[in-house]
Structure 1
Amino acid sequence: MHMIQIGKHDHVGSFLRTDAIKDARKAYINDELTAEALRHVEDVEIEKLVKKQIDLGIKAITDGEFRRSWFMHDFFWGLEGVSFEAVEKGYDFVGQTTRAESFKVTDKISFGNHEMVNDLKFLADVVEKYGDGSQFAKYTIPAPTMFFQRVISEKEKEIYPNIEVLAADLIKVYQDAIQAFYDAGCRYLQFDECILSALDDPKLASIMENFTGLKLTDTTNLFVRVIKESLKNKPEDMIVATHMCKGNYKSAYLYTSGYETVSTYFDELGYDVYLLEYDDERSGGFEPLANIKNEDTQVVLGVVTSKTPELEDAHAMKEKVKAASEYFPLERLVISPQCGFASTEEGNSLSEEEQWGKMEHIIKLSNEIW
């Protein structure tokens, strides 16, 4: 069995929602459109998006997360034992506050008959329809640690009296998810991570200690174990990657944290690919890449920002890659945007044309570097 080759350029997954998607979702929320009609619009727009990616020369093809409102909540809402929750206040980003939506545990959690498996099947079929065989479907879901970013209700405390019991069921959810997506044809699955990647930020560290009831070191060890166990039975010919983020909402960020601490766990975690933000000084230097000793691991450098429309200077980007190659082999480096273009349906502060300009810029840079 052989893994697919992701090439020298990649992307995090989400793209700006088209006007047709926005209008259809608004109509659906206002009871002016049925769920079936909404899905038809999504199908049409995803087909267009797939063709656009293929035409640009992208190999890892996503559905842009067009069927989702949030990069993470929708996946959790689809689990057995989890439901939507309206909360008093959204997440406080730097200069922005999100919609006041979250998720809550109402029963023992399980992967169940998750609708996103069907979403992946649709994507894979469309990629096969329009591709030449060199492209492949890439699917994104939140990392298991993202399940800990919420408020615990009294009802949940009855269901899960301690964090270890919850962790055991969460691991099973992700083991089942990996197998279900694999059986549906997925060979490139990405876990989007905003917790383990930012625990050096004191604000997040405090939140996570309160959630787990553990000290930071024990909390970190718990999170590492949950990921390791989730990946334990991963099929050999399936890539499971992680995008390590510090928040992305309407071009605003949430945390400031380098990779000094988390990189010491990279070999232990078991991911095949690490997509790392490196678009500004918040992410620190490239020195932590030297902590990766596994010779099969690839690193995707997010050197081009998805938050602003301006194209980065090509020479400066090449110099960044050169600097990174002092700590990690150039042949196992890849470049991409630093994050998705629309981690939530609101999207970042740039146009669709500017978004595609960013992707073209990345592809051109990768061709010149390698």
Structure 2
Amino acid sequence: MQPRNESHRSDASLSSNEARVRAPFRADTVGSLLRSEPLKQARRDHQAGVLDASALRGVEDEEIRRIVARQEQIGLKAVTDGEFRRAWWHFDFLDRLTGVEGYEAEQGIQFQGVATKARSVRVIDKLGFADDHPMLDDFRFLDGVTRTATAKMTIPSPSVLHFRGGRRNIDSGVYPSLDGFFADLADTYRDAIRGFYAAGCRYLQLDDTVWAYLCSAKELEAARARGDDPDHLQRIYAEVLNHALAGRPDDLHVSLHVCRGNFRSTWISEGGYEPVAETLFGKVDVDAYFLEYDTERAGGFEPLRFLPEGHKQAVLGLVTTKSGELESGEALEARIAEASRFVARDQLCLSPQCGFASTEEGNLLSEEEQWAKLARVVEIARRVWDDA
């Protein structure tokens, strides 16, 4: 998979955020937020035919302005739109790629004791990223209402389009060989990254459940049952990511969030990072990793030893989004000190372990508990790092 020999530096005017970006920040956020009641009601009204698409977007705009201001008030230096325009963290982006369609699946994604709505995506034509992808405008709006912080965009990582459906969700008439699929997937994401940069984005996060699934014996067995060979997937996914990221501008910061599943306060995969750490931390060309470390399901900090010395950041997801109980500051500081045994403290940051609402249903805590957790992240980061 060879990168194209073309410049990816945009001629577009620089974002107002560019001068103050230093991502990831000591206190950072993964992205999604609990949907507000006005937004939930507007969605219900839209589905009932009472509210048209333009009016719904107006409500979304107003609620995004409100949550951006709240994030800035708390002291976060990176803010998101809470994914307020999405129903899903991934499908809303993926099914607007050229060659991809969403469809009603036979069953939802199974979590611990609960399943999502029956929805999925499949590849029906050659992949591509169009200049009118709606999330480009979504970012432009976020950037326009952000005042004191950096606007952060979140999109699913390329491996997400492949792993759960595998070969069966990729039309064999379009892609007789998966080599062609992965090559086009990498090119599609290079175009997407270029598109967000041209729109003014300087902080992009790729959300990726797959690296955590590659640590889970249960998920690896499920992949084999679908006809995939997971033993080769680490190398393939690393190559796709690196091709997509090759030649990106120096002022574009790209992070990778490794997620273990997040729906209604439940999860999918468990297992420490050791099986993927050498490839993930040492060979994938992102600037930072958002890592879930809120429970024993994530294992210990030992895999952080593979993080290149003096290069790349690990954002420790020590604050859970799955319950409203507020973590003690002392406990968080002790965990950061423990992680510092394996990687320099200067290469560490702090965040929640995941978003608060990877789907529109959201996790089982209140909005005020959500804000308290984000404020705790800022508080502890300021206590631990002089440059927070």
TM-score w.r.t. the length of structure 1 is: 0.95
Give the 5 Å matches for 1:1-12. Answer: 4-6=21-23, 7-12=25-30
1:271 maps to what in 2? Answer: 286
Kindly tell me: are residues 273 and 155 of structure 1, through their superposed partners in 2, closer, same or farther at Cα, counting changes over 3 Å?
closer
Distance 1:64 1:58 in 2: 13
**Aligned twin of 2:343:** 328
Paired residue secondary structure (2:257): strand
Aligned to 1:117: 136
- Structure 1 residue 46, shift from structure 2 partner: 0.4
Deviation at 1:99, TM superposition (A): 0.6
Give the AA of the match of 2:271.
Answer: S
Aligned residues: 364
Q: Please list the CA deviations of residues 217-259 of structure 1 after superposition, one character each: whole Å capped at 9, or x if unmatched.
A: 2122111111111111221111110110100000000010211
Percent identity for Structure 1 against Structure 2: 40
Q: Does 1:202 align with 2:221?
A: no
2:167–2:228: 8 Å Cα contact kept in structure 1?
A: no
Work out which of the residue numbers 147, 150, 153 in structure 2 matches 1:139: 153
Matched, 1:71 2:85: no
**Partner Cα separation in structure 1 for residue 356 and residue 340 of structure 2:** 26
Contact kept in structure 2, 1:305 and 1:339, CA below 8 Å:
yes
- The secondary structure found in structure 1 opposite 2:349 is strand
Corresponding position: 1:187 with 2:205: no
For 1:278 and 1:49, the matched residues in 2 are separated by 26
Deviation at 1:2, TM superposition (A): 8.0
Distance 1:93 1:155, change over 3 A: closer
Distance 1:242 1:331 in 2: 19
Q: Hey, what does 2:53 align to over in structure 1?
A: 35
* Corresponding residue number in structure 1 for 2:3: none
**Amino acid aligned to 2:266:** A
Q: Structure 2: which 5+ residue stretches go unaligned?
A: 1-17
Q: How has the CA–CA distance of structure 1 residues 154 and 43 changed in structure 2, closer, same or farther, with 3 Å as cutoff? A: closer
Q: Residue 209 of structure 2 contacts residue 258 of structure 2 at CA under 8 Å; is this kept in 1? A: yes
- Check the 8 A contact 1:2/1:237 in 2, yes or no: no
- Contact 1:82–1:106 at 8 Å: present in 2 too? yes
Which residue in 2 is equivalent to 1:368? 383
Alpha-carbon shift at residue 152 of structure 1 (Å): 5.0
Asked whether the equivalents of residues 246 and 257 of structure 1 are also in contact (C-alpha less than 8 Å), the reply is: no
**C-alpha RMSD of the superposition:** 1.6
Whether the 8 Å CA contact 2:122–2:169 is kept in 1: the answer is no
- Work out the CA distance in 1 between the residues paired with 2:122 and 2:205: 23
Shift of 1:157: 1.5
Residues 200-227 of structure 1, C-alpha deviations (whole Å, 9 max, x = no match): 212221333455x553221221111111
Distance 1:319 1:101 in 2: 41
Residue of 104, 126, 132 corresponding to 2:145: 126
Of 236, 240, 243, 2:257 maps to 243
2:14 — aligned with what? none
Question: What do residues 86-131 of structure 1 show as CA deviations (whole Å, max 9, x unaligned)?
Answer: 011101101111110111222111111211011001110111xxx2
Matches within 5 A, 1:150-299: 150=165, 152=167, 156-211=171-226, 213-265=227-279, 266-299=281-314
Equivalent residue in structure 2 for 1:346, among 361, 364, 369: 361
- Show the counterpart of 2:31: 13
2:42 to 8, 18, 24: 24
Q: Which residue of 2 aligns with 1:355?
A: 370
Aligned to 2:362, the other structure's residue is in SS state coil
Q: Which amino acid aligns with 1:283?
A: A
Residue identity opposite 1:126 in structure 2:
V
Are 2:212 and 2:258, in contact at CA under 8 Å, matched by a contact in 1?
A: yes
Q: Separation in 2 of the partners of 1:264 and 1:175?
A: 24
Could you tell me which runs of 5 or more consecutive residues in structure 1 were left unpaired when the two chains were aligned.
none
CA contact (8 A) 2:350 2:381 kept: yes
- Distance verdict in 2 for CA 1:292–1:3, change over 3 Å: farther
One-letter amino acid matched to 1:364? E
Against the structure 1 CA distance between its residues 294 and 233, is the aligned structure 2 distance closer, same or farther, given a 3 Å change threshold?
A: farther
Assess, with a 3 A threshold, how the Cα gap between structure 1 residues 231 and 155 changes in structure 2: closer, same or farther. closer
1:151 Cα deviation after fit: 5.9
Residues 284-322 of structure 1 deviation map (CA, whole Å, 9 limit, x = unaligned)? 000110111152201100001000000112211111000
Deviation at 1:153, TM superposition (A): 5.1
Does structure 2 conserve the Cα–Cα contact (< 8 Å) formed by 1:199 and 1:257? no
Q: Give the superposition deviation at 1:355.
A: 0.3
Q: Give the CA deviation at 1:178.
A: 0.5
1:301 is aligned with what amino acid?
A: L
TM-score calculated relative to the size of structure 2: 0.90
3-state SS of the aligned residue for 2:274?
coil
Distance change (3 Å), C-alpha of 1:155 and 1:70: closer
Query: Is the partner of 2:42 in helix, strand or coil?
Result: helix
2:27·2:378 contact (CA, 8 Å) conserved in 1? yes
SS at match of 1:53: helix
The one-letter code sitting in structure 2 at the alignment partner of 1:231 is L
Q: Give the residue type in structure 2 aligned to 1:254.
A: I
Counterparts of 1:30 and 1:116 in 2: how far apart (Å)? Answer: 24
Measure the CA separation in 1 of the matches of 2:369 and 2:308: 37
